[in-house]
Amino acid sequence: MLVSWPIVFFIFIVVSLISSIFLLSSKVPLDYVRIHIGVISVPPILALCALIFQKEHLIWGPWQFNTLSWLLAVFVLTMGLIVQRYCVHFLLGDRSYRKYFSLLTLTTTAGSLAWLSADLRLLLICWGTTLLGLTLIIRLKKEWIVAKRAAVTMGRLFTFSWLVLLAVVLWLSQATGHWQLSQVMTEESLAGFASWEKTIINLLLVLSVLIPAGQWPFQRWLLDSAVAPTPISAVMHAGIVNAGGILLTLFAPLFSASLAQIPLLILSGISVLIGTGIMLVQVDYKRQLVGSTIAQMGFMLIQCALGAYVAAIIHAILHGLFKSTLFLQAGSAIQHGHAKKKSKESTSFIAKGSGLIVGIIAGIGYWSTSPEEAYTLISSIILGCSVTLAWLQLIVYGQGRIGRIAGFILFVAGAIIYSLVHSGFHRLLHETIVSGIQPSVPAIPFLLIILLIGSLIGLGLAQKGSFKGRTMLYLWLVKLGEPNEDVVESHPKFLTQYMSQGGNK
């Protein structure tokens, strides 16, 4: 009975891939895309059923099926389904309309299979296919030189990242004599490594995850990817840019208590600052989201560096769902900030202080009930700041009594949903994911410094008026957040060609 879920799941995975190939034929009417959407909706439903009803860990050939792998399969395939459903109308009329759906199906399917892989060779193949699929999607508009150049940059970095991961896998398999991940990660297998070997392998692993996560100094490709259609930016969050947390979780027995956690902590902290700064100074909405993604992925990798792997997986999934939603709404983003300005200025100091009190209570409450050590304090501070901000925006700055009541109801509902979601994920994953060991360096002071610098950057950019330090910081962040010159066009030349061809016809 246990094997039946994987069998049925793989049958419909194959059917989905066949459907995507069938869609490429020009003889197939475009209306078939709706049938294709129905076909690809079956695998995530089956994966969800398996997640709910299959309680035992199952190794089936080169595949592994547990709560973590099924959860990631549900996440990736559901994201792919949502994006493809969105593309039905969004990309209608595009010359590569059919190819988009085929490549999206290939990319998300390969991504889900990568996290279901028990064999390191299979994981490499599926992960490489995922990166290749994303690069080909960006490159679909060959006539648009900007997209082509962005795809070339992505392809080179992705290839380098994949080759580094290949070196890690080959080293591990040759040293342990195993290809299966569960056998490689046993205490007996890892005991055969010298400390310098483990350090080098983990440094290579860190390098391989920093690139797809768009972390400093490899953030350029992620900024260049803003030329892609909005749904493609959304699908990147389906286990691609957030794959770093997943990979480090899979290799947690090897990565924990390693010196490689220190450089990961430092580079991720720098990325949090850079991403936050880019988000604050950019006026382009998509690049604001890209800057936010850099910062959020940095925080996810900090969680891994501190051994909080369950929190990293939760972050990867929830951030992926949230950020992909924002990307899909990018075309209708409108700023509404002027109406509340007067109410903010007239709000009493006591009312504003209530938000701070609520935030402190929330932070202390989280700190006292969570098991992680260094991560707990930092997360408590961030949670307290978020609660304070939410209280001010929803309640203190609410418009009238009705607005404040509605804001309070939303605040309480959000707190309840947050608690239920996080406790549910912890119960689901605590037996599957091993607990990590935080680095021996004073992680808390370092992270507190990162938070302090980030706060100073935000306050400095928010200050009215102009002074030299603020201007230099602002211009540096603007330059850092801009894509390369060769992937920017004031007016896409291929559109002019389309118009001229249409006129001639």
- 10 Å Cβ neighbour count for 210? 25
Please give the Cα distance from 407 to 396 (Å, whole number): 9
Distances (CA, A) of 373 to 365, 442, 477: 14, 12, 33
Task: Give the mean model confidence (pLDDT) for residues 295-310.
Answer: 86
236-245, 461-470, 492-501: least confidently modelled range: 492-501
Q: Select the highest-mean-pLDDT range: 16-25, 226-235, 251-260.
A: 16-25
340 confidence band (pLDDT: 50, 70, 90):
very low
Q: Which two tokens stand for residue 228?
A: 């892609």
pLDDT at 115 over 60: yes
Nearest to residue 480, comparing CAs of 284, 289, 286, 275? 275
**What pLDDT was estimated at residue 97?**
87
Q: Which two tokens stand for residue 354?
A: 């209530």
Place of tokens 């949903």: 417
The SS3 call for residue 151 is: helix
pLDDT at 138 over 90: no
Please give the Cα distance from 18 to 419 (Å, whole number): 41
342 confidence band (pLDDT: 50, 70, 90):
very low
More confident call, 56 vs 37: 37
**What pLDDT was estimated at residue 17?**
93
User: Within 13 Å, how many C-alpha atoms sit on residue 163's CB side?
Assistant: 6
The SS3 call for residue 191 is: coil
Contact call for residues 219 and 294 (beta carbons, < 8 A): yes
Angle value at C-alpha 306, between 75 and 59, nearest 5 degrees: 45
- 10 Å Cβ neighbour count for 107? 28
Q: What is the pLDDT of residues 481-497, one digit of tens each?
A: 776 666 566 555 555 55
Contact call for residues 215 and 271 (beta carbons, < 8 A): yes
Please give the Cα distance from 87 to 64 (Å, whole number): 32
**What pLDDT was estimated at residue 374?**
55
31-40, 71-80, 324-333: least confidently modelled range: 324-333
Q: What is the pLDDT of residues 422-463, one digit of tens each?
A: 778 878 877 777 766 666 556 666 666 766 676 666 656 555
**What pLDDT was estimated at residue 151?**
85
Mean pLDDT of the chain: 80
Nearest to residue 487, comparing CAs of 156, 143, 221, 146? 146
Nearest to residue 384, comparing CAs of 412, 405, 406, 365? 365
Q: Select the highest-mean-pLDDT range: 385-389, 416-420, 454-458.
A: 416-420
**What pLDDT was estimated at residue 503?**
45
This prediction has a pTM of 0.83
pLDDT at 198 over 50: yes
Angle value at C-alpha 17, between 13 and 23, nearest 5 degrees: 140
Task: Give the mean model confidence (pLDDT) for residues 44-59.
Answer: 86
307 φψ region: left (φ > 0), alpha (ψ -120 to 50), beta (else): left
Task: Give the mean model confidence (pLDDT) for residues 195-222.
Answer: 90
pLDDT at 59 over 50: yes
pLDDT at 8 over 70: yes
**What pLDDT was estimated at residue 343?**
47
153-157, 311-315, 375-379: least confidently modelled range: 375-379
